[in-house]
Amino acid sequence: MGRKDKRWILQRKKDFYYNLAKKQKYRSRATFKLFQLNEKFRFMKEGDIVVDLGCAPGGWLQAAREIVGDRGFVVGVDLQSVKPLPYDNVKTIKGDMTKEETIQKIREILYPAKPTVVISDASPNISGVWDVDHARSIELTTIALKIATQLLKERGNFVVKVFQGDMFMDYVSLVEKYFEKVYPTKPRASRKESSEVYVVAKRYTGKPWEEEEPIKKEEKIEEQIGTEELLAKKIKEMRKLKANK
């Protein structure tokens, strides 16, 4: 174990929310982020139907179930398997949220109802390169927004984690096209040094998704050049589109 790993473990052991999560049997310190966001913005209430995108390890599932209670319903989606929670009204799907087949599974579980809230605390794979990680975050959160417009009941709410960067305000403007009220915010449980920020969007207008895909996935190109090089190319394309607006 390197010095950096030891330092990270020591910092975690001293972390207030990490220790509180362990004490209260929550799966992640992120549970408190959702509680704090909801306390401030009231986007989720008892009886709501919630879809959690990128739900592993299940901290936000726990918080959502606690808020919606017995009368609500929570569906979580993740590429990883998630240990089931002991509630009949919490279901999880192992699948890729970018695939239509996964979205269809959500619809089938909830039919004929539609979710009143879509949440996502998902993070992209971290490279350690700021531009790359920011671009990956924008790509992932744009997909989450698109899914929200496909699933949400009109006047439903959307909450998503985004990494800060020069494309952040463009993303906020995009969310504003589909929701009446949009609030960038950072809960107390977020680490001060973290680049994460949350976007809380309230009252979906019902407007259908009309954006072109911001980043086109070119599988043939990915086979020919490295992933980091491809992402750098995508970043340049996104900035060029931004400059031409």
The pLDDT of residue 126? 85
Token pair in block for residue 236:
């340049």
The pLDDT of residue 3? 47
Q: Which of 22-26, 65-69, 77-81, 232-236 has the lowest mean pLDDT?
A: 232-236
Specify the higher pLDDT residue, 13 or 78. 78
pTM of the model: 0.83
Residues near 178 by Cβ (< 8 Å), separated by ≥ 6? 145, 148, 149, 201, 204, 205, 207, 209
> Do the annotations mark residue 60 as ligand-binding?
yes
Q: Could you report the per-residue pLDDT of 142-191, keeping only the tens digit for each?
A: 999 999 999 999 999 999 999 999 999 999 999 999 999 999 999 999 98
Q: Could you report the per-residue pLDDT of 207-231, keeping only the tens digit for each?
A: 999 998 654 433 333 443 355 556 6
Q: Catalytic residue at 207?
A: no
Token pair in block for residue 239:
């900035």
> Do the annotations mark residue 58 as ligand-binding?
yes
Specify the higher pLDDT residue, 242 or 178. 178
> Do the annotations mark residue 78 as ligand-binding?
yes
Across the chain, what does the average pLDDT equal? 87
Cβ(103)–Cβ(206) under 8 Å? no
The amino acid occupying position 37 is L
The pLDDT of residue 192? 81
Rounded to 5 degrees, what are φ and ψ at 111?
Answer: -50, 135
Q: Which fold has domain 15-212?
A: Rossmann fold (3.40.50)
Q: Could you report the per-residue pLDDT of 84-128, keeping only the tens digit for each?
A: 999 999 999 999 999 999 999 999 999 999 999 999 999 998 888
Among 91, 161, 202, 234, the active-site one is 161
Q: CA angle 108-181-209, nearest 5°?
A: 45
